[in-house]
Every structure is written in structure tokens, then in C-alpha cells.
Amino acid sequence: MLDSLWGLGTILSDMGAYGGGDSIQVGIVYRDHQIPVDYYLSQNFPNPFNAQTKIKYDLPNVAQVTIDIYNILGRKIETLVNKQQPSGYHQVICNADDVPSGVYFYRIIAGEFSQSRKMLLLK
């Protein structure tokens, strides 16, 4: 028998059950360095936010990445990222100390991929 929670083996015999001296490790191996299959822009978290929020994005290829913040009128407020980045999972912190409460949009452009999302700043 195999205890999947603890990964320990148990030997059964005609004399009863005895704990095995050798344990068997079971489980799922997570690979931290996997490369995403597709481009993806996550919803910022927290949202609504006060002062700071985190924006995560995935890049399946090396790409020139730009992430800009726009106000409700479509005016660019800030550029958070403007550089070439390797494939992988990325994140950036948006610090909104210098802007008033309101609805804002953030947009990523990475190669030919472009996506926008809405966020709400409450002070």
C-alpha cells in the first residue's frame, strides 16, 4: 500500500501491517522554469487598489515589451516597462501615488501581441 499524503510505503504480510523501512516519494513535480505557451496579460491584483498593484504577464518568446498606463480619457499617464525581455513569467508593480482616484487602463505590447485591461484606483 502507498500513503499518497506522506509518500510512505507499507508492507502487508500474513502477520499484519508493518511500516516499511524504505519510503517512496510520490507527488507532482512543478518546474519553475517552464516557458509559457501563449502571451497573457493578467488582471492586476489587487483591484480595486490603493497606491500599488501588481501586473503579471507571460511571454512565450523574447520580445520588446511596453506596458503603459492610460487614464479614462486615453491619455498616457506612465510607462511601466519599455525593454526587451526574455520568455517566461514576469510581473511589474504599478505605483499610483501621484495620480487621483479613478478608472485607468493598462496595455501591453509585446511583439505583435497587444492587450488592455481596466483597473480601479481608490484613495
pLDDT of residue 10: 47
Domains and CATH numbers, the chain: 1-30 (no CATH), 40-121 (2.60.40.1930)
pLDDT along the chain (123 residues), means of 10: 48 52 56 82 97 96 97 97 97 95 98 97 94
State pTM to two decimals: 0.72
What sign has the CA pseudo-torsion 86, 87, 93, 94? positive
Instruction: Tell me the Cα Rg of the chain.
Output: 24
Task: Give residue 6's pLDDT.
Answer: 47
What does the pLDDT read at residue 34? 82
Measured between its terminal Cα atoms, the distance across the chain in Å is: 57
Quote the pLDDT of residue 5: 47
Distances, alpha carbon 36 to alpha carbons 31, 45, 80, 111, in Å:
12, 20, 22, 15
What one-character DSSP code corresponds to residue 45?
B
